[in-house]
Structure formats: structure tokens, C-alpha cells
Amino acid sequence: MNLHHLKVFLAVAQTGSISGGAARLFISQPAVTREIRELEGRLQLPLFDRQTRGVSLTEAGQRLLPYAERIFALEHAAERDLAEFASLGAGELRLCASATMGSYLLPSLIADFQQQHPGLSISLQIGNTASSLRALDSGDCTLAFIEGPFAREAFNYQLLGSDALLPVSSPRHPLASRPRLSAAELAEAELFLREEGSGTRSTLEQVYQAHGLTPKVALALGNSVALKRSLQGGRGIAWISELAMEDELRSGELVRLAVDDLHIQRDLHALWRRERSLSPAAHALLDQVRHALACRPSYIKTF
């Protein structure tokens, strides 16, 4: 059934005349008459009885009318829903993130974003880079925020900025009092680091290898909170994201080691599946994350 024919039928039925239908649709009366005749011919049923003043529905027309009303009510509902979606008034964001971004950057940004757009439903799944990529690949999330390496040919992605990894220890560690350290001297200290699959660990291993350094790995832990707490006893050093270190460095609970010849930066990316388009809400959230990174001091830089 031609939906344009049906729209003309509905306009005539609701106004009670050919002229009323034509005026509602801003078309000529002969065009309305032609559309009605084509619809009646297709259905092989008369839909209107022509009267001296206007038209009245036949029994077939009365049966068709509620279907036409429901069809165009759905059309209007779809238009309203998509307009609301485009203006961020409705929709769903299923996010996943590796631990540093998921724990230290995104929660407050997501809370602010949801407050600005209360019609949105937002969820955040936190893991490491490897688990975030798996969730994205399986469809469990639609947008991933990661710090580690990934296969660029497998995803669409956007570079959000970069993050510094800082060498830190307890102020009681023997190296904490040294005014200057070399990377080789640092490599002799016991190293506490993240678990396999972590973007931080992958970056650190690549940098050490590129500089010909062999780390003395003493402990592997599943998140930055555990890593920071493990340093408080005075043993070990760690490379931890600047995003995760603000409170501890400010309080003096942990200190940054003065390494002259090794500075580690890693890129922060947002990823989504190649066959998927980003929603207006996802684009808006990415802008907010990029702005937050741009406003951070010290090592953070944006692109």
C-alpha cells in the first residue's frame, strides 16, 4: 500500500471533504481525487461515498481509517523520538574503559554529562585494555576508552590526548632521597607493576625493551589503587599514571622519583567497532573527555 495514498485518504477522512484534504496537504483538489481513485483501484474497494457536500466513509473506508491513524501516529512518534535522540534527550551509552581512565577520569565526567542530559541512560564497565577490547568486539559496549596498544585496523578510533606515567615510590624508599636518577639505576630497583593485559604494563614493557632495560619485577597487581598501597611500606617503585597520582603526590604519601633520561607518555584513545556509527550522545561525550584532558596541567597534552 502506497503510504502517500494512505496519507491523502486520512486527510480527506478527517476533514470530511476533498477540498479539506487538499488544503491540509497543500496540494490541488484534482491531485487528491486522483490519489483516492488510485488507492481505491489498488484495494478494489470504494472508500468514500461522494455527497453534495463533502464525502462520507464507506464501510471499507471505516475499516481502513483506524489503521491509517495508527500508522501515522507511529510516524509522528518516530519523528519525536529521533528528534529527542538527536538533541541528547534520550538514548543509551554503554561504555567500557581500562582501569586508569575508568577509575580516575571518566566517573566524574559521566556524572556531569548525565546531569546535563538526564534522559540518557549511561553504564560504565571498568577492566583493563584487553578486557575492554573484548567487550567492544563482542558488542557488550559501544564505546571503549583505553590507554594501551590496540590493532588500529580493527576499530574506528579517536585520539583524545596523552598521559604521563610517573616513576613513584614511598618517601621511605632509598631512591626517594636521590636528587637525580638514571633509567639504568631505576631498573635495579624492585618494580611493582600492573597485571598482564593492562595498557600501563604493555606500555612500560615496550619502553623498557626499547631502552635495553631489564626490569626486576617483584609484584604484579590488578589495579592502580592496589599498586599505590603496595608502595607505602617502603619497598619497590612503580610507574603509575599521572591521572591516578594527584592525591598521593599532593599529600606526600608517595613521591615522584627524579629520573632524568626516561619519560614515558602513552596515548589515550576512544574506540568503537568499524561497522557502527557513533550516536550524537557519544560524540558529545567524546568532546567533553577531550576538553577535560586539555584542561589538565603538567604532562597531559591534547591533539
pLDDT reported for residue 15: 94
77 and 108 both lie in a single domain = no
Q: Give whole-number Cα distances, 200 to 194, 224, 276, 286, in Å.
A: 7, 10, 28, 22
Q: In 3-state terms, what secondary structure has residue 148?
A: coil
Q: Which of 58, 86, 114 marks a domain boundary?
A: 86
pLDDT reported for residue 297: 60
169 and 234 both lie in a single domain = yes
71 and 121 both lie in a single domain = no
Question: Please, are residues 129 and 98 in contact by the beta-carbon 8 Å criterion?
Answer: yes
pLDDT reported for residue 303: 35
148 and 25 both lie in a single domain = no
66 and 100 both lie in a single domain = no
For residue 123, what is its C-alpha cell? 553504564
166 and 225 both lie in a single domain = yes
pLDDT reported for residue 170: 95
pLDDT reported for residue 298: 52
For residue 191, what is its C-alpha cell? 618494580
206 and 142 both lie in a single domain = yes
Beta bridge partners of 220: 193
Residue-by-residue pLDDT tens, the chain, 303 positions: 889 999 999 999 999 999 999 999 999 999 999 999 999 999 999 999 988 888 999 999 999 999 999 999 999 888 887 887 888 888 889 999 998 899 999 999 999 999 999 999 999 999 988 899 999 988 899 999 998 888 888 899 999 988 899 999 999 999 999 999 999 999 999 999 988 888 888 889 899 999 999 989 999 998 888 999 999 888 999 999 998 998 999 999 999 999 989 999 889 999 999 888 889 999 999 999 998 888 776 533 333
Q: Give whole-number Cα distances, 220 to 127, 202, 256, 262, in Å.
A: 15, 13, 20, 21
Rounded to two decimals, what is the model's pTM? Answer: 0.73
Q: How many CB atoms lie within 10 A of CB 303?
A: 12
pLDDT reported for residue 76: 87
Q: Which of 59, 86, 113 marks a domain boundary?
A: 86
66 and 107 both lie in a single domain = no
77 and 126 both lie in a single domain = no
Question: Please, are residues 184 and 213 in contact by the beta-carbon 8 Å criterion?
Answer: yes
Query: Rounded distance, CA 187 to CA 193, Å?
Result: 13
Query: Domain residues for 40?
Result: 3-86
pLDDT reported for residue 77: 84
- Longest alpha-carbon distance in the chain: 104
Please report where in the chains the cell 471499507 appears, as a residue. Answer: 60
160 and 49 both lie in a single domain = no
* Polymer length of the chain: 303
Q: Which of 32, 54, 86 marks a domain boundary?
A: 86
Q: Provide the H-helix boundaries in the chain.
A: 3-15, 18-25, 29-43, 59-86, 99-100, 106-116, 129-138, 183-187, 199-210, 224-231, 246-251, 280-294
Number of folded domains that form the chain: 2
223 and 270 both lie in a single domain = yes
pLDDT reported for residue 255: 95
Q: What is the CATH number of the domain that holds 206?
A: 3.40.190.290
Q: Give whole-number Cα distances, 81 to 91, 116, 117, in Å.
A: 9, 19, 15
